[in-house]
Amino acid sequence: MSERIFFKKILCFFGIAFAVYIIIRYMMPLVVPFIFSAFLSMWLYPVVDKITKKTHFPYKLTVIITVLLLASLLFFGISGIGIAVFNQVKRFTANMPFIQSEFDVCVRKICKCCDEWLGISGGKAYSFFLLGADYLGENWNEKILPFVTDKAWSVCQGILSVFIIFLFFLVGTWLIMEEYSAISKEIKNSDIYKRISPLIDAVKEALGGYFKTQGIIICVVTVLCTIGLFIIKNPYAILIGIIIAVLDAFPILGSGSILIPWAVIYILQGRLVYAAVIGVTYLLCLCAREFLEPKLMGRRTGLRPIYMIMSFYAGIQLFGIIGVILGPIAFVVIKTAYTIIASSMD
């Protein structure tokens, strides 16, 4: 490879990365609901078209009924889960004194074991823990609590924004579906689409595979964890199940970051049956991910664990917490676009 081509490829990579950043940072917020509407319409259109041909219902009426059914399912499904999670958070807050007491007993037992294993005088490990707890307590009162209070209004605004986006998403889906054939033909006949269609198809396949896989695995892990926690009669089964499932999507962390220490704590407390249930739950979650991920996603995204971590970190640094989602999207788009454009330079 000549130096000229090499530098061209370097410039190409940084140019693509910069363009993707500008699009995600400044343009995507303006069209987010309509992007989701377009993707949903691509999935719904074959279904609606098939129903129309079999039932001989008017196409527009079928579209309205489908969108209303979808809206109802999403609304009641999200509301049901939201209410259950809210009730569990409320119960968790009310039981905080008892939880703190149980936690202190558990910490004392662990510290006692650490004293014995390390051969240090009794109570040293617990003293170190108390020093750390005092430091965290000071930071909680001085920094964390004011920060949480300041952000409370932002969270309320965020919920309102999500509701507005949801409304535009539904209206967008309805309008796109009504004229799907005409819009699809118009886009496919445009010169821009003909030029970038290989890139669009590659990105669509990669991102579709990634999000479909993660969505299915998160649902499966949520169900497995919730059932496991219900078996041991944990009152926060749904809430903790969702948290573990979301963590499971992160490389390195995974469901084991919560379930393994939890099982160890139960063993130290002498609650071996509970430890066994948590251990089996972890193994089932691990097997579900190891089995489903290669089956559903294969090698379509090229998102190796190290690339995932890098894309998460870069996404969070550039876009905040939403970068957990936007980071992998940006990575796939940059990688796919660079591969296609760089191959034409050789």
Report yes or no on whether pTM surpasses 0.75: no
Question: Cβ(315)–Cβ(323) under 8 Å?
Answer: yes
pLDDT of residue 155: 56
Q: Cα separation of 33 and 10, whole Å?
A: 34
Q: Cα separation of 115 and 122, whole Å?
A: 6
Per-residue pLDDT tens over the stretch 315-344:
888 887 778 778 888 888 888 888 877 777
* Residue at token pair 């309509």: 34
Q: Cα separation of 199 and 101, whole Å?
A: 57
pLDDT(119) > 70 = no
E strands of 126-248, at which residues?
Answer: none
pLDDT(223) > 90 = yes
Per-residue pLDDT tens over the stretch 90-114:
777 777 777 677 777 777 777 777 7
Per-residue pLDDT tens over the stretch 237-296:
888 888 898 888 876 678 888 898 888 888 877 788 999 999 999 999 988 888 887 777
Q: Cα separation of 317 and 93, whole Å?
A: 31
325 alpha carbon, distance to own chain's centre: 6
Distances 208 to 150, 231, 251, 333 between C-alpha atoms, Å: 37, 35, 19, 12
Question: Cβ(149)–Cβ(139) under 8 Å?
Answer: no
Q: Is the C-alpha dihedral spanning 58, 64, 69, 74 positive or negative?
A: positive
Contacts of 51 (CB under 8 A, 6+ apart): 57, 62, 66
Residue 157 — pLDDT band, cuts 50, 70, 90? Answer: low
Planar angle of CA 339, 345, 346, nearest 5 degrees: 95
Per-residue pLDDT tens over the stretch 24-65:
888 887 888 888 888 888 888 888 888 888 888 888 888 888
